[in-house]
Chains A and B, each alone.
Chain A
Amino acid sequence: MAALMLRWSCLGKRWVLACIDGGSRHGRGAAIGLTSRRKRGQSSVAQQPLIAVQKSRKGEHEWAAVVGLEIHAQISSNSKLFSGSQVHFAAPPNSLVSFFDASLPGTLPVLNRRCVEAAVMTGLALNCRINKKSLFDRKHYFYADLPAGYQITQQRLPIAVNGSLAYSVSVGKKPSQVSTRTVRIKQIQLEQDSGKSLHDEPRSQTLIDLNRAGVGLLEVVLEPDMSCGEEAASAVRELQLILQALGTSQANMAEGQLRVDANISVHHPGEPLGVRTEVKNLNSARFLAKAIDFEIKRQIHELENGRKILNETRSFDDKLGCTMPMRDKEGKQDYRFMPEPNLPPLLLYDTASLPPGADPQQVINIDWIRERLPELPGKTREKLIQQYGMLPEHSFTLLNEVGLLEFFQNVIKETRAEPKKVTSWVLNIFLGFLKQQNLAVNESPVTPSALAELLNLLDRKAISSSAARQVMDMKRGNPRAINKLIGLVRKATLSRADPTVIKEILERKLSS
């Protein structure tokens, strides 16, 4: 049975529980407890009889999963949270470390203004209440990459609380079938990052690089309002876009600027919540949904076989596609929280409470920051829909692909073609082309001006749409397409142009 479970997860099936709609989670007393997405392709249909058989053997209870997230985003700043050493991704080991970061005796923390502003901006963008007074605490634990033996965080009174994040999930096979969900934000707090440890197994040692130690982090705690991997992944993606739009974090998961820990439990609807496990350090958007779904399945499987879920920490092995226990917790971790004795409370002001004659460098005005918040992704999408009449799902695609929105806007600027045409070309043909060639938008051989020109020709009916598509083909280096285009141009010039000249001009244009 274990092998069967493993195979399901490794095949990457989306056995998403109760993700379809709030309603369908409870209503169906069907034999199949796992409400799988029937529309997701052939193989899922083939698998169904197996699940049905299993379910009727074990009982016909439905399961609901509960997923909460703790997201750590590295603040985009020049220097660290409490010291003046640089924040930079790749640098020689221990070269970006100050005496405070190395926790040498006699050093004290000095708070970075930019990090506070970043936290306030993020709190405002996520509809949080900004606490005008917040406190710093020490969280104690021993680990080789934590030189002080404690991390300065904000446990008792964080800088922002009670917000919300809206995201959308697809609820059917058609791209237009999307539903907006909201997840509550419990709190946002400022905390220090730890250093990096590299395990050198053969020589039985651990190498420590403190370049990352002390970098400012925003911890965003999402309440357990999500119920599957896809919802969690969508919420994280939306948070990424918001952070990037604000400029508070580059939120690049590959570079470790955004790290997600998930708290997962399962229970029968109507009954109390089950024991939860924590899946730590999900550092890739791709594996986030996969890991969460696997853990949900694993827990259901354990419970249905009469076993209990241990309140433990697990990590995701992406090669095997499963979660493994990380370290056995001998009882709950006791962090011995205490107030940070070296830092007074952090006080923020608004226009009404701003002390007169205060040094502007030493006070932070929440209203001032609110007025200068950049446009958030939700607003950008709204504007696209209104301005260009595009469908909601198109606006999502435009924002989801890095650089695509800018590309689109540049094409719009330079072309006379209708916005709907531009949208269709950019999202279908251009994006499809990029995906096929496995290129990012900024690596595209086709510039916005080139595409704009092509669309102008199309608009003027100087070339047919099939000819335009062939130009794109050509960019793929398809020689046949080039010859075809030469033929078309000849036809257009009523066979008066010299084919070799045409070829030269085309090649010049295509290579530009």
Chain B
Amino acid sequence: MSSLLSAPSALREDALRRLKREMWARAVKLGLRSWVGWRRGFTSKADPQRSGRVTAEVIEHLERLALVDFGSLEAVARLEKAIAFADRLRAVDTDGVEPMESVLEDRCLYLRSDNVVEGNCAEELLQNAHRVVEEYFVAPPGMCSPKWLNRLSLSELRI
């Protein structure tokens, strides 16, 4: 889904428009009652009470987990549209089909021999750090608990 979000917005808008047109065309054809039934089936796997809406609770949860900032209602709306778009995948019948976990599933996993060939570059590594104390990286306090995420805004995170 992240790739969908990062796809160029023009393409996304295009696809959404096409989808909307398709949805309405089908609805008109099948009639109101079957449209309601179809929609219910459409969101059957999602929370029926939400009916396509992402709650504020979930947004907060996502913001904490992924350190993203859904700063505006527009962003939340875009998220909901993206979820609805991806949900179309459920229309595909995948019964009895093994999921593909990785495009590398046919590749060979290379096994490296247990030799020391890297390291000893503390200076190089530390040169990118904003703050350094005697060859240690420095992190702000409380970075070790999820609580700090609630207090700091994204801009403050640029340490």
Tell me the A residues contacting B by CB distance below 8 Å: 77-79, 83-86, 92-100, 102, 104, 110-116, 135, 140, 142-145, 197-201, 204-210, 327, 330-331, 334, 336, 339-347, 361-362, 364
| A344-B112 contact given A93-B135, A98-B119, A206-B140, CB 8 Å threshold | no
| A115 neighbours in B (Cβ, 8 Å) | 114
Q: Interface majority SS on B: helix, strand, loop or mixed? A: loop
Q: How far is the CA of A210 from the CA of B137 in the complex (A)?
A: 9
Contact present for A94 and B125 (CB under 8 Å):
yes
The answer to the question of B115 belonging to the interface, with a C-beta cut-off of 8 Å to chain A, is yes
Q: How far is the CB of A281 from chain B (nearest CB, A)?
A: 13
Q: How far is the CB of B47 from chain A (nearest CB, A)?
A: 17
B 95-130 contacts with A by CB, 8 A = 101-122, 125-126
The answer to the question of B145 belonging to the interface, with a C-beta cut-off of 8 Å to chain A, is yes
B 72-109 contacts with A by CB, 8 A = 101-109
Q: Out of B110, B119, B138, B139, name the residue touching A110 (CB < 8 Å).
A: B110
Q: How far is the CA of A330 from the CA of B131 in the complex (A)?
A: 30
Q: Out of B105, B113, B138, name the residue touching A345 (CB < 8 Å).
A: B105
Q: How far is the CA of A440 from the CA of B52 in the complex (A)?
A: 67
Contact present for B109 and A346 (CB under 8 Å):
yes
Q: Out of B119, B120, B139, B147, name the residue touching A205 (CB < 8 Å).
A: B139
| A343 neighbours in B (Cβ, 8 Å) | 102, 104, 109
Given A113-B111, A346-B109, 13 extra CB contacts under 8 A: A86-B119, A93-B135, A97-B121, A98-B118, A111-B112, A115-B114, A144-B139, A204-B140, A206-B144, A208-B139, A334-B65, A341-B102, A341-B104
Q: How far is the CB of B121 from chain A (nearest CB, A)?
A: 7
Q: How far is the CB of A110 from chain B (nearest CB, A)?
A: 5
| B113 neighbours in A (Cβ, 8 Å) | 113-114, 361
| A93-B136 contact given A113-B111, A339-B102, CB 8 Å threshold | yes
Q: Out of A79, A92, A197, A341, name the residue touching B115 (CB < 8 Å).
A: A79
Q: How far is the CB of B143 from chain A (nearest CB, A)?
A: 4
Q: How far is the CA of A229 from the CA of B137 in the complex (A)?
A: 38
Q: How far is the CB of B112 from chain A (nearest CB, A)?
A: 5
Closest B residue, CB atoms, query A95? B122
| B114 neighbours in A (Cβ, 8 Å) | 77-79, 112-115
Contact present for B102 and A144 (CB under 8 Å):
no
The contact sample of 22 A-B pairs, CB cut-off 8 A, is A78-B116, A79-B114, A94-B125, A95-B135, A97-B119, A111-B109, A112-B114, A113-B112, A113-B114, A115-B114, A142-B67, A199-B141, A200-B133, A201-B141, A205-B141, A327-B145, A336-B65, A341-B103, A343-B104, A347-B109, A362-B111, A364-B111
Closest B residue, CB atoms, query A77? B114
| A206-B139 contact given A113-B111, A334-B61, A336-B65, CB 8 Å threshold | yes
The answer to the question of B156 belonging to the interface, with a C-beta cut-off of 8 Å to chain A, is no
The answer to the question of B149 belonging to the interface, with a C-beta cut-off of 8 Å to chain A, is yes
Contact present for B118 and A93 (CB under 8 Å):
no
The answer to the question of B134 belonging to the interface, with a C-beta cut-off of 8 Å to chain A, is yes
How many residues on B have C-beta within 8 angstroms of the other chain's C-beta atoms? 44
Contact present for B125 and A79 (CB under 8 Å):
no
Q: Out of A97, A144, A204, A344, name the residue touching B104 (CB < 8 Å).
A: A344
Contact present for B135 and A345 (CB under 8 Å):
no
Contact present for B112 and A95 (CB under 8 Å):
no
| A201 neighbours in B (Cβ, 8 Å) | 141
Q: How far is the CA of A84 from the CA of B111 in the complex (A)?
A: 12
Q: How far is the CA of A343 from the CA of B107 in the complex (A)?
A: 9
Contact present for B144 and A144 (CB under 8 Å):
yes
Q: Out of B119, B139, B149, name the residue touching A95 (CB < 8 Å).
A: B119
Q: How far is the CA of A265 from the CA of B3 in the complex (A)?
A: 43
Contact present for B116 and A95 (CB under 8 Å):
no
Q: How far is the CA of A210 from the CA of B139 in the complex (A)?
A: 13
Q: How far is the CB of B77 from chain A (nearest CB, A)?
A: 23
| B143 neighbours in A (Cβ, 8 Å) | 142-144, 206
| A209 neighbours in B (Cβ, 8 Å) | 136-137
Contact present for B116 and A86 (CB under 8 Å):
yes
Q: How far is the CB of A283 from chain B (nearest CB, A)?
A: 17
| A135 neighbours in B (Cβ, 8 Å) | 101
Q: How far is the CA of A200 from the CA of B122 in the complex (A)?
A: 21
Q: How far is the CA of A114 from the CA of B144 in the complex (A)?
A: 32
Q: How far is the CA of A77 from the CA of B134 in the complex (A)?
A: 28
The answer to the question of B31 belonging to the interface, with a C-beta cut-off of 8 Å to chain A, is no
The answer to the question of B37 belonging to the interface, with a C-beta cut-off of 8 Å to chain A, is no
| A344-B116 contact given A93-B136, A94-B136, A205-B133, CB 8 Å threshold | no
Closest B residue, CB atoms, query A196? B136
The answer to the question of B146 belonging to the interface, with a C-beta cut-off of 8 Å to chain A, is yes
Q: How far is the CA of A331 from the CA of B66 in the complex (A)?
A: 16
Contact present for A112 and B112 (CB under 8 Å):
yes
Q: How far is the CA of A115 from the CA of B109 in the complex (A)?
A: 14
| A111 neighbours in B (Cβ, 8 Å) | 109-112
| A79-B144 contact given A94-B137, A111-B110, A346-B109, CB 8 Å threshold | no
Contact present for A93 and B134 (CB under 8 Å):
yes
Contact present for A85 and B118 (CB under 8 Å):
yes
Contact present for A102 and B125 (CB under 8 Å):
yes
Q: How far is the CB of A368 from chain B (nearest CB, A)?
A: 14
Q: Out of A104, A112, A142, A205, name the residue touching B140 (CB < 8 Å).
A: A205
Q: How far is the CA of A210 from the CA of B145 in the complex (A)?
A: 18
| A344 neighbours in B (Cβ, 8 Å) | 102, 104-109
| A143-B144 contact given A197-B139, A206-B138, CB 8 Å threshold | yes
